[in-house]
């Protein structure tokens, strides 16, 4: 990974000047200076105006904008402009349009209406990329290439005939022979045996449950296809503009499982991430913290670039909440605390027309004479004081294992409970541990675990043999691990590991379940330590583990719910049910103390503490003043911190600790 090519912790933004007359551009640039903007993302949706007809380009207006920004000292993250094909392409070549699982074509009239496997789309896109790279590839303002935009934001998969052929090629590469595919997909079931690759279709709509491994492979194929598009643009950019790093903006969050970003990361020069608070969640900022920790995991621990977020409300949720005064700064620092080396937004000026006209921006409809723009200026000033944080790495004692493939497989249909969702377990455990003031990495099961004091494995339904072996090795080396219910159940082909659950971890944990016993929505059970649990239980025996808690009521009364197996200096805990929030918090408290994790001794509700290099971030979104032990200097105020930093409700501190 290369470093973020902007200065300090830069403030950035998507800039769409084509929506405004030239007279506004000059005012824009003056306001950008006032806000201390470091970079602008340009050209994301400019294709139709840059290439008004096939092969005829109009770069004049774009040259002007680039010059204006350059003169103002604003660096440019230059998009390849291929995110939204112009109407001449989709009407002249309707074969580029995507098709859904039911065979419906998705037409032009919004954006991203292209099939990831379309060679026709690829050819037109690469022609434009070539023009862009030749014209701007050595422009002094251009510091970063931004391929397309949020690949997979709307179209993650396509079921058209072109995609079907590409899928068959992908399967041929993966399996080599049709018999291997038949084994992997378990096609002896329901007369699904294939005689040749030519018979295979994408998993289009079927009379009843489609083959799960077929679906899993289609998910793998689909992320590879979009990644293939990214790679094609990147390769051309590298050839024509070798000095400028290349990225694309990912969507790492708890809503979008479709792209396996662990596959994407090695192809990117740096990790860029878009994140929007989701007002539909009970605690949107807990999800923000998880998404940020996972982004860092995808980046292999390196600093990353927050490419988009919102200054206030978005426009695409059922009800779009504006931020309260002060929240913009705190929300932005949450990303920086968790490894972001830039904070950027969609978009500079709120649109007057179009689908996103009610989306917040840096300059709202009210204009620069507004509370929001003043907050933006304040944010620019605050980030300006944090320049020295750039490049430092977050230091976590705890890892939460996370795998997109496990997410895909766990959430397929026909499982013991349709109420069990992979991401729920991940969110619950990430939140419980971070609320203690512990810093958490969210990493792939293949990551090096040796530096962690505690590893949490929430509902890792699908798990490979090497990942299970690495976890066992980690515990043998003195590590502490917590595995939760419905983990280690299947291999990469979604085939059940036989002999009892949780197959992959049975030996490590010293337990064995013969049956699952999921609960009805709203049904709960009590444990003999007083905890309440719901959703899921298992008919479990502890063959080689200490039983820490048993069910106190219900059909499984007297049988184990929580166990621990001591392995040398380490320990392997198994939780066979879904504890409620307070019991999850209590268990997280016990585990982190047991494992000697750095955390707050007496955590305060709403107070976030994150360790990033020498810097201690304290963000207080609670109702009470936070007093946190630290010694050094608060970069935001310049004040000396002698023994404790005091942070008022709604406030933040970034303490450079004395070494
Ligand atoms: C992102 C997208 C932006 C804008 C934004 C609105 O998904 O990249 O172009 O649409 O959402 O929240």
Q: What is the pLDDT of residues 610-647, one digit of tens each?
A: 999 999 999 999 999 999 999 999 999 999 999 999 99
Check: CB of residue 553 under 8 Å from CB of residue 462: no
DSSP state of 570: E
Which CATH class, in words, describes the domain spanning 398-595? Answer: alpha beta
Check: CB of residue 573 under 8 Å from CB of residue 458: no
501 token code pair:
């659950």
Give residue 59's pLDDT. Answer: 98
Q: What is the CATH number of domain 8-30+271-393?
A: 3.20.20.80
- Whole-Å CA distances, 234 to 196, 237, 244, 620: 34, 5, 11, 41
Give the distance (Å) from ligand 1 centre to CA of residue 346: 6
Check: CB of residue 15 under 8 Å from CB of residue 41: yes
Which distant-in-sequence residues (6+ apart) come within 8 Å of 582 by Cβ? none
Annotation says 225 is catalytic: no
- Whole-Å CA distances, 141 to 6, 38, 138, 328, 652: 11, 11, 8, 28, 33
Q: Active site residue: 51, 225, 233, 308, which one? A: 308
Calculate helix-pair angle for 119-136, 212-240, nearest 10 degrees.
30
Domain 38-252 in the same topology as domain 8-30+271-393: yes
Distance CA 419, CA 520 (A): 9
49 token code pair:
């105006």
563 token code pair:
């166990």
Give the distance (Å) from ligand 1 centre to CA of residue 314: 9
Annotation says 308 is catalytic: yes
Closest atom of ligand 1 to CA, residue 316: 12
- Whole-Å CA distances, 8 to 38, 73, 113, 295, 380: 9, 14, 37, 20, 11
Which CATH class, in words, describes the domain spanning 614-657? Answer: mainly beta
Closest Cα to atom 11 of ligand 1: 346
Reference 424, options 552, 579, 194; nearest CA is 579
Which residue is associated with the tokens 């007279």?
23
Give residue 360's pLDDT. Answer: 98
Domain assignments of the chain as residue spans, ordered by start: 8-30+271-393, 38-252, 398-595, 614-657
Reference 129, options 79, 169, 73, 202; nearest CA is 79
Three-state DSSP at 568 gives coil
- Whole-Å CA distances, 575 to 89, 333, 429, 655: 54, 34, 12, 37
Residues β-bridged to residue 560: 550
pTM summary value: 0.98
479 token code pair:
């590590």
The reply to whether ligand 1 has any atom less than 6 angstroms from the CB of 314 is yes
Distance CA 575, CA 458 (A): 9
264-319 tens-digit pLDDT: 999 999 999 999 999 999 999 999 999 999 999 999 999 999 999 999 999 999 99
Q: Which fold has domain 38-252?
A: TIM Barrel (3.20.20)
Give the distance (Å) from ligand 1 centre to CA of residue 187: 41
Distance CA 175, CA 167 (A): 12
Positions of the chain with pLDDT under 70: none
The reply to whether ligand 1 has any atom less than 6 angstroms from the CB of 6 is no
**DSSP-assigned letters across all residues of 94-135:** GGGS-B-TTS-B--SSSS--S-TT-HHHHHHHHHHHHHHHHH
Give the distance (Å) from ligand 1 centre to CA of residue 306: 13
Residues in the chain: 659
């Amino acid at each position: 990974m290369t470093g973020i090519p902007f200065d300090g912790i830069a403030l950035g933004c998507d800039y769409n000047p084509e929506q405004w007359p030239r007279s506004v551009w000059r005012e824009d640039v003056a306001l950008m200076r006032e806000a201390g903007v470091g970079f602008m993302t340009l050209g994301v949706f400019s294709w139709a105006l840059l290439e008004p007809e096939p092969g005829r380009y109009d770069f004049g207006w774009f040259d002007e904008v680039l010059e204006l920004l350059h003169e103002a000292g604003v660096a440019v993250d230059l998009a390849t402009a291929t995110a939204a094909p112009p109407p001449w392409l989709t009407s002249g070549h309707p074969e580029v349009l995507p098709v859904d699982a039911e065979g419906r074509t998705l037409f032009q009239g919004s954006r991203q209406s292209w099939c990831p496997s379309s060679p026709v789309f690829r050819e037109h896109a690469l022609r434009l990329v070539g023009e862009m790279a030749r014209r701007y590839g050595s422009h002094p303002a251009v510091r970063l290439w931004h391929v397309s935009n949020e690949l997979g934001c709307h179209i993650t998969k396509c079921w058209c005939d072109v995609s079907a052929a590409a899928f068959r090629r992908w399967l041929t590469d993966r399996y080599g022979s049709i018999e291997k595919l038949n084994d992997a997909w378990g096609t002896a079931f329901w007369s699904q045996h294939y005689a040749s690759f030519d018979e295979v279709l994408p998993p289009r709509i079927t009379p009843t449950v489609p083959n799960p491994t077929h679906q899993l492979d289609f998910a793998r194929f689909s992320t590879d296809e979009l990644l293939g598009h990214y790679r094609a643009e990147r390769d051309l950019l590298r050839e024509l503009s070798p000095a400028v790093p290349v990225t694309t903006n990912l969507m790492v969050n708890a809503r979008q499982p479709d792209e396996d970003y662990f596959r994407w990361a090695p192809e990117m020069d740096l990790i860029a991430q878009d994140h929007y608070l989701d007002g539909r969640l009970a605690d949107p900022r807990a999800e923000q913290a998880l998404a940020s920790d996972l982004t860092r995991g995808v980046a292999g621990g390196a600093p990353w670039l927050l490419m988009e977020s919102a200054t206030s409300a978005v426009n695409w949720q059922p009800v779009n909440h504006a931020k309260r005064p002060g929240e913009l700064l705190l929300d932005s620092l949450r990303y920086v605390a968790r490894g972001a080396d830039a904070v950027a937004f969609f978009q500079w000026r709120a649109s007057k027309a179009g689908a996103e006209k009610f989306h917040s921006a840096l300059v709202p409809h009210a204009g620069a004479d507004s509370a929001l723009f003043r907050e933006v200026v304040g944010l620019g000033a605050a980030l300006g004081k944090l320049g020295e944080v750039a490049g430092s790495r977050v230091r976590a004692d705890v890892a939460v294992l996370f795998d997109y493939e496990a997410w895909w497989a766990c959430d397929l249909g026909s499982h013991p409970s349709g109420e069990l969702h992979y991401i729920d377990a991940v969110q619950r455990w990430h939140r419980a541990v971070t609320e203690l003031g512990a810093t958490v990495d969210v990493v792939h099961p293949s990551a090096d675990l040796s530096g962690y004091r505690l590893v949490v494995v929430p509902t890792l339904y699908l798990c490979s043999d090497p990942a299970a072996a690495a976890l066992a090795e980690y515990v043998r080396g003195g590590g502490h691990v917590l595995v939760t219910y419905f983990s280690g159940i299947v291999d990469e082909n979604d085939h059940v590991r036989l002999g009892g659950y949780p197959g992959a971890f049975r030996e490590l944990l010293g337990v064995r379940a013969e049956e699952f016993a999921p609960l009805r929505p709203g049904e709960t059970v009590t444990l003999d330590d007083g905890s309440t649990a719901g959703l899921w239980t298992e008919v479990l025996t502890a063959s080689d583990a200490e039983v820490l808690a048993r069910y106190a009521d219900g059909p499984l009364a007297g049988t184990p719910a929580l166990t621990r197996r001591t392995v040398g200096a380490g320990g392997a805990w198994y939780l066979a049910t879904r504890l409620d929030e307070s019991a999850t918090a209590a268990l997280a408290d016990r585990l982190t103390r047991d494992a000697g994790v750095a955390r707050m001794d007496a955590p305060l509700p709403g107070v976030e503490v994150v360790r990033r290099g020498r810097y201690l971030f304290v963000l207080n979104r609670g109702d009470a003043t936070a007093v946190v032990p630290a010694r050094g200097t608060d970069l935001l105020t310049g004040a000396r911190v002698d023994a404790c930093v005091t942070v008022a409700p709604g406030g933040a501190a970034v303490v450079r600790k004395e070494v």
